[in-house]
Amino acid sequence: MLLIRCPYCGERPETEFHCGGEAHIARPDTPADISDADWGSFLYTRTNPKGLHAERWLHAHGCGRWFNALRDTVSDAFVTTYEMGTPRPDPISETAKA
Amino acid sequence: MLDVNLASRAPALAPRSSDAGVTVAPLGPQGRLSLRIKPAALGDDTAIDGFDLSGPINSRRSAGDGAATRTALRLGPDEWMLLCPADDVEERSEALAAALNDTAHSLVDVSHRDVSFVVAGAEADSVINAGCPIDLALAAFPVGAATRTLLGKAEIVLTRLAEDRFTVTSWRSFAPYVQGFLVEAARHQL
Amino acid sequence: MRRFSLTSLLKEAASGHQGWKRQWRAPEPKKEYDVVIVGGGGHGLATAYYLATVHGVTKVAVLEKGWIGGGNTGRNTTIVRSNYLFDESAALYEHAMKLWEGLSQELNYNVMFSQRGVLMLVHNHHDVISFKRHVYANRLNGIDNEWLTPEECKEFCPPLSISPDLRYPVLGGALQRRGGTARHDAVAWGYARGADARGVDIIQNCEVLGLRRTSDGAVAGVETSRGFIGAKRVGVVAAGHTGVVMSRFGLKMPVESVPLQALVSEPVKPVFPCVVMSNAVHAYISQSDKGELVIGAGTDQYVSYSQQGGIQIVSHTLDAICELFPQFTRMRMLRSWGGIVDVTPDRSPILGKTPIPGLFVNCGWGTGGFKATPGSGHVFAHTLATGEPHPINAPFSLDRFRTGRLIDEAAAAAVAH
Amino acid sequence: MSQPFRRASGGRIDRNRPLTVSFNGKTLEGFAGDTVASMLLASGQHLAGRSFKYHRPRGILSHGSDEPSALLSVDWRHDRGPGYRDPNNRASVVEARDGLVVKTQNHWPSLALDIGAVNDLLSPIFVAGFYYKTFMWPKRFWDKVYEPIIRKAAGLGEAPEYPDPDHYANRHAHADVLIVGAGPAGLAAALTASADASKRVILADEGAEPGGALLNDLTSTIDGQPAMDWVEDAVATLDGRENVILLPRTTGFGYYNHNHVCLVERVSDHRADAPEGLARERLWQVRARQVVLATGSHERPLVFENNDKPGVMLAESLRAYVNRWAVLPGDALIVVTAAASAYRTALDAKAAGMRVEIVDIRLGADCGPELAAARDAGITVRTGHTVIRALGGNRVGALVVAPIGTDGSIGPKLTLDCDCVAMSGGWTPSVHLFSQSRGKLAFDTEIDAFVPDKSVQAERSAGACRGLYDLGAVLADGFAAGSDAIGGAASPQPVEASAAFTGFQPVRVLPSDADPSRIKAFVDFQNDVTVKDIKLAVREGFESIEHVKRYTTTGMATDQGKTSNMNALGLVAGILNRPIPAVGTTTFRPPYTPVSFGALIGPARNELFDPVRKTPIDGWAAQNGAVFEPVGLWRRARYFPQAGEDMQAALARETKAVRSTVGIFDASTLGKIEVVGPDAAEFMNRIYTNAWNKLKTGGCRYGLMLREDGFVYDDGVVARLAENRFHVTTTTGGAPRVLRHMEDYLQTEWPDLDVFLTSITEQWAVIALQGPKARDVLEPFVSEIELSETAFPHMTVKTGSVCGVPCRLFRVSFTGELGYEVNVPADYGEAVWTTLFNAGQKHGITPYGTEAMHVLRAEVGYIVVGQETDGTATPDDVGLSGLVSKVKPDFVGKRSLSRPDMVAAGRRQLVGLLTKDPNEVLDEGAQVVKDPGQPIPMKMIGHVTSSYRSENCGRSIAMAMIDDGRARIGETVFATTPTGFTEAVIAPAVFYEVKGETADA
CATH number of the domain to which B39 belongs: 3.30.70.1520
- Is there a single domain that holds both residue B104 and residue B118? no
Instruction: Report residue C63: phi and psi, to 5°.
Output: -100, 125
Q: Which amino acid makes up residue A24?
A: H
* pLDDT tens-place string over residues D883-918: 999 999 999 999 999 999 999 999 999 999 999 999
At residue D599, the pLDDT reads 98
Q: Which residues of D touch C305 (CB under 8 A)?
A: none
The sheet carrying C146-148 orders its strands as: C146-148, C172-176, C118-122, C275-278, C283-287, C293-299, C256-265, C332-343, D595-596
At residue D587, the pLDDT reads 81
Structure confidence at residue C415 as a pLDDT band (50, 70, 90)? very low
Q: Is residue B18 part of a domain?
A: yes
Structure confidence at residue C416 as a pLDDT band (50, 70, 90)? very low
pLDDT above 80: residue D319: yes
Residues D505 and D68: their CA atoms lie apart, in Å, by 24
- Coil/strand/helix, residue D929: strand
Return the closest-CA partner of residue D191 out of D469, D467, D473, D475: D475
Check CB contact under 8 Å for A12 and B57: no
Nearest CA in chain C to A46: C254
At residue B150, the pLDDT reads 98
- Is there a single domain that holds both residue B61 and residue B25? no
Kind of pairing between the strands at D420-424 and D312-314: parallel
DSSP string, C142-159: T---EEE-HHHHHHHSTT
At residue A96, the pLDDT reads 45
Domain architecture of chain D: domains with CATH: 14-131 (3.10.20.440), 168-297+429-485 (3.50.50.60), 301-425 (3.50.50.60), 508-594 (1.10.10.1100), 670-760+875-902 (3.30.70.1400), 905-1001 (2.40.30.110)
Point out the domain boundary residue: B110, B136, B161.
B110
At residue D140, the pLDDT reads 81
Q: Is residue B102 part of a domain?
A: yes
Q: Where are the alpha helices (DSSP H) in D540-612?
A: 545-552, 565-576, 580-583, 597-601
At residue B7, the pLDDT reads 46
pLDDT > 90 in chain D, percent: 91
Residues D473 and D547: their CA atoms lie apart, in Å, by 37
What DSSP designation does D619 have?
Answer: H
Residues D38 and D29: their CA atoms lie apart, in Å, by 10
- Is there a single domain that holds both residue B104 and residue B40? yes
Per the prediction, chain D carries an average pLDDT of 95
Residues D238 and D310: their CA atoms lie apart, in Å, by 40
Instruction: Report residue D730: phi and psi, to 5°.
Output: -130, 175
Nearest CA in chain C to A56: C302
- Is there a single domain that holds both residue B171 and residue B140? yes
Structure confidence at residue A95 as a pLDDT band (50, 70, 90)? very low
Mean pLDDT calculated for residue range C300-311? 92
Quickly count helices (H) and strands (E) in chain B.
4, 12
- Is there a single domain that holds both residue B189 and residue B120? yes
Q: Which residues of B touch D608 (CB under 8 A)?
A: 152, 177, 180-181, 184
Residues D420 and D418: their CA atoms lie apart, in Å, by 6
By Cβ distance, the residue of A37, A41, A55 closest to C302 is A55
Q: Is residue B62 part of a domain?
A: yes
CATH of the domain at B121: 3.30.1360.120
At residue B13, the pLDDT reads 66
Residues C374 and C82: their CA atoms lie apart, in Å, by 12
CB D31 within 8 A of CB D14: yes
* Chain A interface test: which of D707, D742, D748, D894 (most A C-beta within 10 Å): D748
Whether D438 contacts chain A with CB within 8 A: yes
Q: Which residues of B touch A16 (CB under 8 A)?
A: 133, 149-150
Burial D549-570 (b: 16+ CB within 10 A, else e): bbbbbbbbbbbbbbbbbbbbbb
At residue C235, the pLDDT reads 98
Structural domain total, chain B: 2
Nearest CA in chain B to A6: B76
Whether A21 contacts chain D with CB within 8 A: no
- Is there a single domain that holds both residue B106 and residue B37? yes
pLDDT above 50: residue C123: yes
pLDDT > 70 in chain D, percent: 99
Domain architecture of chain A: domains with CATH: 16-25+35-97 (3.30.2270.10)
Whether A1 contacts chain D with CB within 8 A: yes
Interface of A with C in 8-67 (CB under 8 A): 14-15, 18-19, 21-22, 36-37, 40-41, 43-50, 53, 55
What DSSP designation does B78 have?
Answer: T
By Cβ distance, the residue of A1, A8, A13 closest to B77 is A8
Whether D763 contacts chain B with CB within 8 A: yes
Whether A63 contacts chain B with CB within 8 A: yes
- Is there a single domain that holds both residue B41 and residue B97? yes
Structure confidence at residue D144 as a pLDDT band (50, 70, 90)? confident
Instruction: Report residue C242: phi and psi, to 5°.
Output: -55, -45
Point out the domain boundary residue: B110, B131, B150.
B110
At residue C91, the pLDDT reads 97
Structure confidence at residue D999 as a pLDDT band (50, 70, 90)? low
At residue A97, the pLDDT reads 44
Q: Which amino acid makes up residue D514?
A: A
By Cβ distance, the residue of D200, D613, D835 closest to B4 is D835
Give kind and range of the element (H or E) at residue C343.
strand C332-343
Whether D900 contacts chain A with CB within 8 A: yes
Q: Is residue B4 part of a domain?
A: no
Return the closest-CA partner of residue D501 out of D696, D337, D618: D337
Q: Is residue B9 part of a domain?
A: no
Return all residues near D196 (Cβ < 8 A) that are at least 6 apart.
Answer: D486, D488
- Is there a single domain that holds both residue B122 and residue B188? yes
Residues D10 and D776: their CA atoms lie apart, in Å, by 90
At residue B5, the pLDDT reads 45
Check CB contact under 8 Å for D589 and C337: yes
pTM: 0.96
Return all residues near D144 (Cβ < 8 A) that are at least 6 apart.
Answer: none
- Is there a single domain that holds both residue B45 and residue B90? yes
Q: Which of C7-21, C218-232, D361-375, D598-612 has the lowest mean pLDDT?
A: C7-21
- Is there a single domain that holds both residue B118 and residue B179? yes
Point out the domain boundary residue: B50, B85, B110.
B110
Chains with at least 3 CB pairs less than 8 angstroms from chain B: A, D
Residues D560 and D367: their CA atoms lie apart, in Å, by 32
**Widest CA span in chain C:** 69
pLDDT above 60: residue C21: yes
Q: Is residue B179 part of a domain?
A: yes
pLDDT above 90: residue A58: yes
Q: Which of C256-260, D87-91, D496-500 has the lowest mean pLDDT?
A: D496-500
pLDDT above 80: residue A91: no
- Is there a single domain that holds both residue B84 and residue B98? yes
Check CB contact under 8 Å for B75 and A63: yes
Whether A98 contacts chain D with CB within 8 A: no
Check CB contact under 8 Å for A3 and D740: no
At residue D990, the pLDDT reads 96
* pLDDT tens-place string over residues D18-38: 999 999 999 999 999 999 999
* pLDDT tens-place string over residues D321-339: 999 999 999 999 999 999 9
Return all residues near D138 (Cβ < 8 A) that are at least 6 apart.
Answer: none
- Is there a single domain that holds both residue B25 and residue B117? yes
Q: Is residue B36 part of a domain?
A: yes
**Residue ranges making up the domain that contains B49:** 30-110
* Chain C interface test: which of D71, D136, D172 (most C C-beta within 10 Å): D136
Q: Give the residue ranges of chain B where pLDDT is below 70.
A: 1-20, 189-190
Q: Which residues of C touch A71 (CB under 8 A)?
A: 302
CB D847 within 8 A of CB D665: yes
